[in-house]
Amino acid sequence: MLMASATGLAGAALIAAPPAPAISVVPQPVEVIGVRGDAFRLDSDARIMIDGDPREAGPVARQLADLLRPSSGFELPIVRGAAEPGDIALVLAADEAPDGHAAEGYRLRADESGVRIGAATAAGLSNGMQSLRQLLPAAVEDGHLLSYPLEVVAVEINDYPRFAYRSVMLDVARHFFSVLEVERFIDEIAMLKINTLHLHLANDQGWRIEIEGWPLLTEVGGLFEVDGNPGGFYTQQEFAGIVDYAAERNVMIVPEANMPGHTHAALTAYPELTCDGVAPGPHTLMAGGGSSLCPTSGEAERLAEDVIRQLAALAPGPYLHLGGDEVSGYTDDEYTYFMELTSSIAADEGKTAIGWQELGASDELPIGTIGQYWGYTEPNEQGIELMQSFLNQGGAIVLSPPDVAYLDQVYPDDDSLGLEWAGSNGVADAYDWDPASIFEGVGDDQVLGIEGPLWTETIDTIEDVEFMAFPRLGALAEIGWSPAPGGAHRDFDEFAPRLVTFLERFEQLGVNFHRSSDLPW
């Protein structure tokens, strides 16, 4: 009797974990090495150890604890000091990252003696934590106590990104998204090691960021969105909150208040920004308003200066996006004058300007200005010339070809949401391109990175944002992060099941996504 019940108890405590999943991480790490030895098993006395500056490592430790405590039921204290067997260690020191990849690289090792993530920066630790997360069963994500122990297969991962700028753009102007919705999206993109969220804060349909000295921009210009529904805006304090939330997750916010075109909302708020002094009234159609700040009004320059300086103060990173696309009613000289003005103010604020490709029309940009390409993967003469202009001026480029990277275009197998001027864009399309093969002679060194823009003319809810972003953004994340030896075509058949495995996590988290017929469900 005694024997039987003892066995029973032991059995209950040691219910076998489900078979360790094959290592399946998106984006694919640079190096994954199988390690001899047993899996790591999280025990009740495990701790999350911080070895290094706790202000840097603290947020990563807390995110890991938030993930593991509910599913394991363990206390998992976060403690400073050296790890003991069974602990998860976050080690922050200059020599911890893979050589030459201090900015975001990390090393992860798991075996029966513990888990150790080493990095030179908080960004590297964050990346390592996101990989560790994907080595755990998807069930950890839903916050319920699991009936089996958490295990991590014995493995060593050395990893770092191919491109420094791995971005998604959210257009909060056409449709507004609340602080909480934006933060939810940040949590999701961070899981894919997307490290930049470009917020498109002003367009014809709405002005979404408070600018001191110009209260009507938001009070009037923020009122509506597409279809005339109520819009909204962020106070500077709310915006700073988004910036901090993102930073803890290794996501940099790059703000853009698009000028001088696409400015209907600003013109409605301040008619003195128009040439005829007449407020045009709200623009709530999907299509662009063909609007621009009056090139000969001194008020436009005063607005531009206030906006750029205040956004520079709010922007955490080295970049500020100036917009500058699709400007009507300007002569070439007026356009370059305006953009040289805004880019020089950005430079004066210590920021590197990024502009949509049209900005390349100027040959007097501050050194290092970044151009964002939004032409097709097969560029035309004009696209080539514009992008070459940025390179000639010491800058680099960010690639957003609409045929593979625009997250607002319809899926080939579902056109319920999205525009289709660039055709459709499926998961396989988003995976089938290489940033170093678009422009002849322009290789990795001149490509700062990639971005998937999510324009929101047809996108009204955060669930719809998720539907359009995922799973395509998983493909873009891998294009931006993972090496492509010799620029060779990537193997979609190898990628697709990994992406499906990743999406099990989103299912647990209740994140919406499109069940693309490109994927082997």
> Active-site residues: which are they?
326
Instruction: Give the nearer residue to ligand TNX in terms of CB position, either 343 or 482.
Output: 343
* 379 forms part of the interface with ligand TNX (CB under 6 A): no
* 390 forms part of the interface with ligand TNX (CB under 6 A): no
Q: What is the dihedral angle through the alpha carbons of 148, 72, 47, 102, rounded to the nearest 10 degrees? A: 90
DSSP strands (E only) in 172-267: 196-203, 206-207, 252-259
* 356 forms part of the interface with ligand TNX (CB under 6 A): yes
Site string for ligand TNX, 203-242 (x = CB under 6 A): ----------------------------------------
* 419 forms part of the interface with ligand TNX (CB under 6 A): yes
* 334 forms part of the interface with ligand TNX (CB under 6 A): no
Kindly report each contact of residues 298-304 with a partner whose C-beta sits within 8 Å and lies 24 or more positions away, as own/partner: 299/270, 299/272, 299/273, 300/259, 300/260, 300/273, 300/338, 301/338, 301/341, 303/214, 303/259, 303/266, 303/270, 303/273, 304/259, 304/260, 304/338, 304/341, 304/342, 304/345
Q: Which of 31, 244, 326, 420 binds ligand TNX (CB under 6 A)?
A: 326
Q: How many residues at the interface with ligand TNX, by CB under 6 A?
A: 10
CB of 407 to ligand TNX, least distance (A): 10
* 408 forms part of the interface with ligand TNX (CB under 6 A): yes
Instruction: Give the nearer residue to ligand TNX in terms of CB position, either 115 or 257.
Output: 257
* 325 forms part of the interface with ligand TNX (CB under 6 A): yes
First CA to last CA distance, the chain: 48
Q: Which of residues 422-461 bind ligand TNX (CB under 6 A)?
A: 455, 457
Residue 332 exposed, middle or buried by CB count within 10 Å (0-12, 13-18, 19+): exposed
Instruction: Give the nearer residue to ligand TNX in terms of CB position, either 358 or 478.
Output: 358
Contacts of 437 (CB under 8 A, 6+ apart): 487
Q: Helix H segments across 249-318?
A: 264-269, 298-314
Query: Do 291 and 263 contact (CB within 8 A), yes or no?
Result: yes
Query: Do 153 and 135 contact (CB within 8 A), yes or no?
Result: yes
Q: Which of 160, 374, 495, 513 binds ligand TNX (CB under 6 A)?
A: 374
Instruction: Give the nearer residue to ligand TNX in terms of CB position, either 96 or 408.
Output: 408
* 151 forms part of the interface with ligand TNX (CB under 6 A): no
* 176 forms part of the interface with ligand TNX (CB under 6 A): no
Q: Which residues bind ligand TNX (CB under 6 A)?
A: 288, 325-326, 356, 374, 406, 408, 419, 455, 457
